[in-house]
């Protein structure tokens, strides 16, 4: 279990979910999918649930790029003010001078924003053409009202509440939708999430647990937010941001990095030349309780080993489905055998053990069998 110093775990435990994604992080990620497939958003309806155009950048980004992406429709929904932290409760700019403003609904009802045509006759469709209204309910993604919007959409994109990540993913998968969402690396080991990854129904995005310009992914948070184990930034306007490690994108949209094969050394060369002291001039260790070898670093996977290997969960950021087969995961005692994925040699399921000591969580993999030009398996 993560420590409470982990920001995203604390968000789950304390129900503090107001982490607002930066425009540059959204732009950088989305561009990777456009580079792989320029038509990925063409004629698509994109839903941005759990959003808030007053603070978040998802609606701004997709509204400003509506025509460039060739979108058919953009739908954004926000939670009612009563469900937000006090720091974000204020009269919406969309409501301020609108004849739709209802003082009885402004705090108890969520809002919906729709962009699908050139409302102001400016000759282009952009953020100035957003139409808004109150939702019937509070904007919770689990409501029948928002489920109908989910069913209407093609792609769902958002930074979901950290405390409801498992439930949010199930909400998407149940409707068989494409998605791009933000989550913590610990989610990889969730019993509800890992089977999706194993079966290639979900994978890490272009950016995951990577520092860019010296920073991890950065989020706007309330001034009152208690931060532990994070990097704190305050801009010239006094807004508070945190840079959170172990954070990134999950998706089922294809991107180029996912199909780049890992360049690896043989087992012999790893033992001779590895940059990791744990491996250099040493043998690869075997687990006490699994018929597999321990590979503590992704770049140390031996290219010529045909058996089962246990690798760190961060391997998934380098995972190429044409190169490797994911067999299972052992993260903690009591894991289902279906998730563990390989035979267990002891009397109970547990994390992999080496010389009587538990290791960290491990994903079990092996190289995929390939066929050469003579149709002979390698």
3-state secondary structure of 157: strand
Close Cβ partners of 196 (under 8 Å, ≥ 6 residues apart): 169, 173, 202
d(CA 157, CA 30): 10
Query: Which has the minimum average pLDDT: 122-131, 186-195, 339-348?
Result: 339-348
Half-sphere exposure of 139 (CA within 13 A, CB side): 29
Contact (CB, 8 A) for 229 and 7: yes
Which tens digit of pLDDT belongs to each residue from 193-215? 999 999 999 999 998 866 666 66
Which tens digit of pLDDT belongs to each residue from 259-305? 999 999 999 999 999 999 999 999 999 999 999 999 999 999 999 99
Average pLDDT, the chain: 84
Report the predicted TM-score, pTM, of the whole model to 2 decimal places. 0.86
**What are residue 149's DSSP bridge partners?**
none
Averaged pLDDT, 114-134: 93
Helices 144-152/165-174 angle, 10° precision? 50
Q: What is the largest CA-CA distance in the chain?
A: 75
Secondary element (H or E) of residue 352: none
pLDDT of 307 > 80? The answer is yes
Maximum average pLDDT range among 20-34, 46-60, 163-177, 227-241: 163-177
* pLDDT score recorded for residue 370: 65
Domain definitions of the chain by residue range: 7-258, 261-367
* Beta strands 20-21; 217-221: pairing state: antiparallel
- For 240-276, the DSSP string reads EEEEESSEEEEESS--GGGGPPPP---HHHHHHH-S-
């Amino acid at each position: 279990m993560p420590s409470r110093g982990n920001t995203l775990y604390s968000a789950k435990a304390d129900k503090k979910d107001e982490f607002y994604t930066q425009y540059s992080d959204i732009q950088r990620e989305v561009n990777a999918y456009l580079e792989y497939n320029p038509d990925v958003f063409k004629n698509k309806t994109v839903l941005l649930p759990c959003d808030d155009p007053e603070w978040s950048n998802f609606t701004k980004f997709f509204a400003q790029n509506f025509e460039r992406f060739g979108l058919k429709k953009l739908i954004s929904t926000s939670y009612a003010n009563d469900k937000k932290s006090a720091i974000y409760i204020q009269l919406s700019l969309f409501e301020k001078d609108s004849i739709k403003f209802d003082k009885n609904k402004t705090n108890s009802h969520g809002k919906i924003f729709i962009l699908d045509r050139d409302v102001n006759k400016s000759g282009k469709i952009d953020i100035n053409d957003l139409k808004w209204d109150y939702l019937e309910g509070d904007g919770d993604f689990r409501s029948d009202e928002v489920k109908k919007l989910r069913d209407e959409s093609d792609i769902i994109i958002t930074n979901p509440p950290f405390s409801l990540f498992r439930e949010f993913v199930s909400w998407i998968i149940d409707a068989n939708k494409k998605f791009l969402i933000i989550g913590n690396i610990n989610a990889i080991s969730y019993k509800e999430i890992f089977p999706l990854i194993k079966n290639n129904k979900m994978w890490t995005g272009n950016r995951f647990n990577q520092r860019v310009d010296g920073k991890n992914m950065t989020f706007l948070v309330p001034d009152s937010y208690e931060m532990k184990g994070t990097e704190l930034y305050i801009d010239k306007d006094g807004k508070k941001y945190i840079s959170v490690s172990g954070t990134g994108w999950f998706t089922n949209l294809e991107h180029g990095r996912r199909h780049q094969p890992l360049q690896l050394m043989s087992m012999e060369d790893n033992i001779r030349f590895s940059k990791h002291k744990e491996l250099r001039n040493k043998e690869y260790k075997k687990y006490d309780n699994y018929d597999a070898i321990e590979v503590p670093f992704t770049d140390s996977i031996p290219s010529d080993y045909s058996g089962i290997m246990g690798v760190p969960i961060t391997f998934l950021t380098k995972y190429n489905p044409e190169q490797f087969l994911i067999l299972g995961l052992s993260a903690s005692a009591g894991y289902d055998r279906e998730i563990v994925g390989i035979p267990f040699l002891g009397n109970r399921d547990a994390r992999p053990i080496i010389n009587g000591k538990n290791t960290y969580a491990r994903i079990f993999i092996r190289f995929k069998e390939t066929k050469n030009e003579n149709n002979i398996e390698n």
